[in-house]
Amino acid sequence: MLILAVTPQARKEHKNVKNITHWINGFPAGDSPHDIGSTPSARLGEIFNPASGEVTGRVHLASTAEVDAAVAAAVAAYPAWRDTSLTRRARVLFRFRELMYAHRDELAGLVSAEHGKVHSDALGEVARGLEVVEFACGIPHLLKGGFSEGVSTRVDSYSIRQPLGVVAGITPFNFPVMVPMWMFPVAIACGNTFVLKPSEKDPSASLLMARLWKEAGLPDGVFNVVQGDREAVDRLLEHPDVKAVSFVGSTPIARHVYERGTSHGKRVQALGGAKNHMLVLPDADLDLVADAAVSAGFGSAGERCMAISVVLAVDPVGDELVGRIVSRVEKLTVGPGDDPRSEMGPLVTEAHRDKVASYLDLGVTEGATLVVDGRLTPVLGGAAAAGTSGFWLGPTVLDHVPPGSRVHTEEIFGPVLAIVRVSSYEEGLELINSGEYGNGTAVFTNDGGAARRFQNEVEVGMIGINVPIPVPMAFYSFGGWKSSLFGDTHVHGTEGVHFYTRGKVVTSRWLDPSHGGVNLGFPTNG
């Protein structure tokens, strides 16, 4: 595959360049009949088709005034939504789930067109996001408190959880549907109003989700979208009416979000980067390991915070395992996300592709062996496709990567799989535990005792045992340790419900029983 260095000025525009703006108070910016509307901003960013390098759209980057307009809409909508019964909130969520499922192909198509991942992978992203919506549909059960009768004479005590107010989500480019759905279904179900700031690289899915919320019956202002860059992010972190912020992205930005948000009195959960290791013990099924390493390393072109990017091969399995991995990599089909033959698509931007590709030469300089060079991978379409200015880099395998080298320790976030040879379980465990990140890890073994020891001793938040991408189901919570998480709570699951609510304890005494009159009708909820 030929990679062309094309300057931004040389980029061709698609004949139908779309215009992406904000969603404020139930309408696209500039179209709202309400007083808190906003006109689209003057600053623009470009949206690319990663497979061709064409400019396919322009996104309006929010000013401080536009962020303020979205927050004002959320503030105005909050009292009524907070007081909406749990039953009615759940009905809106059920309807939203139905609409999202009906539009799943359209959502996946938007993701493929702007992010580059293949359609089947994008469909999987939508499906995993919907699991959180389904979890949030159970909000009447999830918000049940505790009750103690007769803590003193005719005195009862009970606990309740109440929403915070306006909350915000700042989400990355790699999962423009799933990651926002880690946040807003739970936040909205709990009675909060929400402002989403998606990645400006692939913003279209956020507007489709906003329209589906409206169609589901969500009141205007409960869900808002502001497109933007750092100006929008910093305003959300500083705005006095934003009570909590959820973030997913790189560790340096996660640290910035956490420090700036908490300094302005906000509750913050900021999920950062990862360098996920797979420890392969000598008794493991090497065919299963090879399948898992290739699937987890190169799915979504490696642009996953839960991707396996390092395989720790315990002697003496290294040579045989690398051979099996390479044989599978060489059969992968790389091509545009909308081509059903494609198994892996391009990277999201030219700059990101170039950064990832720079690690190939770096790895060789550091002493690794470049076994599979993704720069030479053929792309569907033959010479014509290889000669385009798409953001292509095929699956890459670096063997004998030195422990502690930059290729081993730095988050590359692309289709580069590093093989590190280790002599023992203990050496592999030490490499994992001494790393900066603690997001996800996996061990492959047929020894139950070794697996149990690993899950006890490894210092990582999410662990797979013969499972390469241990993303928890929605009723558990997602999040890592160390520099992979800033804050005290993980997303979705019980911790997500607690993040978007705060507790009260009520102590009550009623001296006389009350009587509400006779009503023989069947009681109903509303």
Active site residues: 305
Q: Of 270, 264, 222, whose CA–CA distance to 241 is shortest?
A: 264
Nearest to 67 by CA among 218, 237, 213: 237
Q: Distance between CA 470 and CA 492 in Å, rounded? A: 15
Helix (H, G, I), strand (E, B) or coil at 228: coil
Which amino acid is present at 397? Answer: V
Tokens linked to 170: 């700042």
DSSP string, 303-366: --TT-EEEEEEETTSHHHHHHHHHHHHTT--B--TTSTT-SB---S-HHHHHHHHHHHHHHHHH
193-197 vs 276-280, strand pairing mode:
unpaired
Looking at the DSSP assignment, which residues form a beta bridge with residue 466? none
Taking each helix axis from N to C end, the angle separating 425-433 and 448-457, rounded to the nearest 10 degrees, works out to 30
Handedness of CA 239, 240, 242, 245 (dihedral sign): positive
Q: Which long-range contacts (CB under 8 A, 24 or more apart) does 10-16 make?
A: 10/389, 11/46, 11/48, 11/53, 11/54, 11/55, 11/389, 12/53, 12/54, 12/55, 13/54, 13/55, 13/56, 14/49, 14/54, 14/55, 14/56, 16/56
Angle between helices 104-115 and 204-215 (to 10 degrees): 160
Q: Does the CA dihedral 171-173-176-182 come out positive or negative?
A: negative
Lookup result for tokens 């509750």: 267
Given a contact cutoff of 8 angstroms between Cβ atoms, the answer to whether 37 and 205 are in contact is no
